[in-house]
Every structure is written in structure tokens, then in C-alpha cells.
């Protein structure tokens, strides 16, 4: 059985965070990555940005057609989570990461090695579904996300996420999940229909808030 989340206990802290040191998100990585989209102004350890090998008790297998990879859920004492893995005998992997509070999380970053993109069925979708499964195992009930890239938003919507309004999120949730709903949220988009209309006009969007109950 997966270990239940205890906010006062570290379930698994990666040995890559040496002596509690937090590495800058600008640190070089062996795995190509996109710039993560997150609201936090703090320095994010690279173990929550770059794909990491599966480790610890909360490990299971991700399967997408003929592709298989071990992934694990790991948390730290600062309220961060990651679901990540690297394919055996390679440096190719993926990660979903963000913040956890109470029975909710906010996904700040989703990354898949370039060599794994374009696979059918899509490995990125399988990784997101696996993250939801593992988060549900520690009694997470609500997932928030906020992204601006069309391809990312489309993937989340296809996976059952709905577009929500900034005012639907309480101040307490914003504070604890570090959700910025003021500076960069696209005020033109009030529904999925608004989003589809802007997309059909090939207009760029700002950040869009998404939510899913699991």
C-alpha cells in the first residue's frame, strides 16, 4: 500500500538535495528541458524540474503501448511533489511536479524528453494519468494547473480538466498552493468556448487556470 501523506514527515527526499541545499533551476541538466511554468519566486531544486529515476516505496510502471518506464511519487518537506521516471538504460524520461497542500495539488511543470514526444499512444498523456493515479493514492482529490502553451492546455483538457475562473479559487488555496491569479491569467477566457475561439484565430493566450477532481 502507498504510504499516506503526512505534512510533518518527509516521505522521500532525494539524495540529490545534498545537506538540504536547494539548487538553482538554471543549473545545467543532462536532459533537455523546456522552461518550467511556475509561480514560485523561490529557487526550485532541479530534482523537481528535471526527470529523475524512480525511487522509494511509491513506485509503479507507466505503460504507453510498447513503452514502459518505472515512475515514482516523491515529496519533500517544503510541500513539493514530483512524479518522475527515466527509461531503463537511458537518460530519457519525464516529470510532473508542483506543490501539495491538504488534499490538493497544483501542477507547475510537466516535461518529457524530446526523444519521447510524438509516440503513439502519447507518453505525456500516460505520464499525466499516472501522476493523477499516484496522487490519488495519497488522498489528493483536486488538481489545479496553470499553463499558457496551447499544446499543454489541450492535453490537460483532453485528460478531463476544465477551465476555471480566478475568482473560483479561495485566498487560502491561492496562498498555500502559490497560485498567482492576478498578474498573468488571461482575462478574456471565461470558458472552454472562449478558449476555442481564441485558438481558432491563432491568438496567443496568457496563463489559463485548469482544475480536475480525481
Reported as a single tens digit per residue, the pLDDT across 178-211 is 998 887 899 999 999 999 999 999 888 899 999 9
Contacts of 32 (CB under 8 A, 6+ apart): 113, 114
pLDDT recorded at residue 14: 35
Helix (H, G, I), strand (E, B) or coil at 54: coil
Query: For residue 118, what is its C-alpha cell?
Result: 510524438
Class of residue 28 by CB neighbours under 10 A (exposed 0-12, middle 13-18, buried 19+): exposed
User: Which tens digits make up the pLDDT trace of 62-102?
Assistant: 999 999 999 999 999 999 999 999 998 888 999 999 999 99
pLDDT digits (tens, 9 = 90+) for 35-64: 444 445 556 788 899 999 999 999 999 999
Is 15's pLDDT higher than 70? no
Element (H, E) at 197: helix 192-200
Domains of the chain: 18-213 (3.40.630.30)
* Global pTM exceeds 0.85: no
**Which grid cell sits at 6?**
503526512
Residue 176: strand, helix, or coil: helix
Out of 8-12, 16-20, 25-29, give the one with best mean pLDDT.
Answer: 8-12
pLDDT at 3 over 60: no
Q: What's the rounded mean pLDDT across residues 147-173?
A: 94
Burial of residue 182 (CB within 10 Å: 0-12, 13-18, 19+) is exposed
Amino acid at each position: 500500500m502507498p504510504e499516506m501523506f503526512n505534512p510533518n514527515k518527509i516521505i522521500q527526499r532525494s539524495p540529490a538535495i545534498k545537506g538540504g541545499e536547494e539548487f538553482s533551476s538554471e543549473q545545467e541538466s543532462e536532459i533537455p528541458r523546456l522552461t518550467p511554468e511556475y509561480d514560485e519566486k523561490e529557487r526550485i531544486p532541479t530534482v523537481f524540474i528535471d526527470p529523475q529515476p524512480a525511487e522509494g516505496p511509491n513506485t509503479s510502471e507507466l505503460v504507453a503501448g510498447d513503452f514502459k518506464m518505472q515512475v515514482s511519487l516523491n515529496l519533500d518537506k517544503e510541500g513539493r511533489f514530483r512524479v518522475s521516471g527515466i527509461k531503463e538504460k537511458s537518460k530519457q524520461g519525464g516529470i510532473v511536479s508542483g506543490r501539495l497542500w491538504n488534499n490538493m495539488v497544483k501542477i507547475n511543470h510537466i516535461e518529457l524528453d524530446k526523444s519521447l514526444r510524438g509516440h503513439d499512444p502519447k507518453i505525456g498523456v500516460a505520464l499525466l494519468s499516472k501522476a493523477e493515479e499516484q496522487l490519488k493514492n495519497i488522498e489528493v482529490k483536486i488538481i489545479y494547473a496553470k499553463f499558457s502553451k496551447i499544446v499543454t492546455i489541450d492535453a490537460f483538457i483532453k485528460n478531463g480538466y476544465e477551465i476555471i475562473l480566478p475568482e473560483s479559487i479561495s485566498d487560502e488555496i491561492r496562498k498555500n498552493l502559490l497560485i498567482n491569479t492576478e498578474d498573468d491569467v488571461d482575462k478574456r477566457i471565461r470558458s472552454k468556448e472562449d478558449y476555442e475561439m481564441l485558438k481558432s484565430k491563432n491568438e496567443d493566450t496568457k496563463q489559463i487556470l485548469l482544475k480536475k477532481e480525481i
